[in-house]
Amino acid sequence: MKKTTFLWLGLALLVIALGTYVFSDRLFGDAAAAPVTVAVLQGELVDQVTATGVLQPSDYVDLGAQVSGQLKVIHVEVGDKVRAGDLLAEIDPTVYLAQVDASRAQLRNQQAQLKDREAQLTLARIQYQRQQNLMAENATSREALQTAEAGLRSAEAQIEALKAQISQTESSLRADEANLDYARIYAPMDGTVVSIEARQGQTLNATQQAPTLMRIADLATMTVQARVSEADVSKLGPGMKVYFTTLGEPSRRWYSQLRKIEPTPVVENNVVLYNALFDIDNPQGRLMSQMTTQVFFVLAEAQDVLLVPMSALSFPDRRDRSQAEVRVLTAVGSSEIRRVEVGVNNRIQAEIRDGLALNEQVVLNVAPATADSRPGGGMRMRF
Give the predicted TM-score (pTM) of the model.
0.67
Q: What is the mean pLDDT of residues 285-297?
A: 93
Of 102, 98, 107, 72, whose CA–CA distance to 180 is shortest?
Answer: 98
331 and 344 share one domain? yes
CA 155 from centre of chain: 66
Residues written for the chain: 383
Question: Is the separation of the CB atoms in 191 and 218 below 8 Å?
Answer: yes
At a CB cut-off of 8 Å and minimum separation 6, what does 289 contact? 55, 56, 57, 194, 217, 219
What's the pLDDT band for 376 if we cut at 50, 70, 90? very low
The mean per-residue pLDDT over the stretch 104-119 comes to: 95
- Residue that terminates a domain, selected from 249, 281, 301: 301
Across the strands, what pairs with 267? 272
Same domain, 283 and 311: no
Is there a domain that residue 106 lies in?
A: yes
Exposure b/e, 330-368, CB count within 10 A at least 16 = b: eeeeeeeebebebbbbeeebbbbeebbeeebebbbbeee
Closest CA to 179 of 250, 92, 113, 108: 92
Q: Which pLDDT score, from 0 to 100, does residue 6 have?
A: 44
Residue 381 has pLDDT above 60, yes or no: no
Same domain as 322, residue 277: no
pLDDT tens string 12-48:
445 455 554 444 444 444 444 678 889 999 999 999 9
Instruction: Look at residue 363 and tell me whether its pLDDT is greater than 70.
Output: yes
If asked whether residues 113 and 152 sit together in one domain, one would say: yes
270 in the same domain as 307: no
Instruction: Check whether 377 has a pLDDT greater than 60.
Output: no
The pLDDT, as a whole number, for residue 15 is 46
Summarised one tens digit per residue, pLDDT across range 247-278 is: 989 999 999 999 999 999 999 889 999 999 99
> pLDDT of 185-224, one tens digit each?
999 999 999 999 999 999 888 887 778 899 999 999 999 9
- Beta carbons of 369 and 380 less than 8 angstroms apart: yes
Q: How far is CA 84 from the centre of its chain?
A: 25
CA distance 199 to 77: 11
Tell whether 347 and 279 lie within a shared domain: no
Give pLDDT, residue 285: 86
pLDDT of 380 above 50: no
DSSP 318: T
Which SS3 state, helix, strand or coil, does residue 151 take? helix
Residue 117 predicted with pLDDT over 70? yes
Number of domains in the chain: 3
Gap between the Cα atoms of 56 and 225, Å rounded: 7
Residue 170 pLDDT greater than 90, yes or no: yes
Of the residues 129, 163, 182, which one is the last residue of a structural domain?
182
CATH code at position 251: 2.40.30.170
- Which of 134, 163, 182 is at the close of a domain? 182
One domain, residues 127 and 150 = yes
CATH code for the domain of 310 = 2.40.420.20
Quickly state the pLDDT bin for 367 (edges 50, 70, 90): low
Distance, in Å, from the CA atom of 369 to the CA atom of 324, rounded to the nearest integer, reads: 25
- Determine what percent of the chain is predicted with pLDDT higher than 70: 87
Q: How far apart are CA 4 and CA 15, in angstroms?
A: 17
Distance CA 56, CA 218 (A): 10
Say whether both 307 and 278 belong to one domain: no
* Domain shared by 290 and 312, yes or no: no
Nearest alpha-carbon partner for 94 in 74, 75, 68, 64:
68
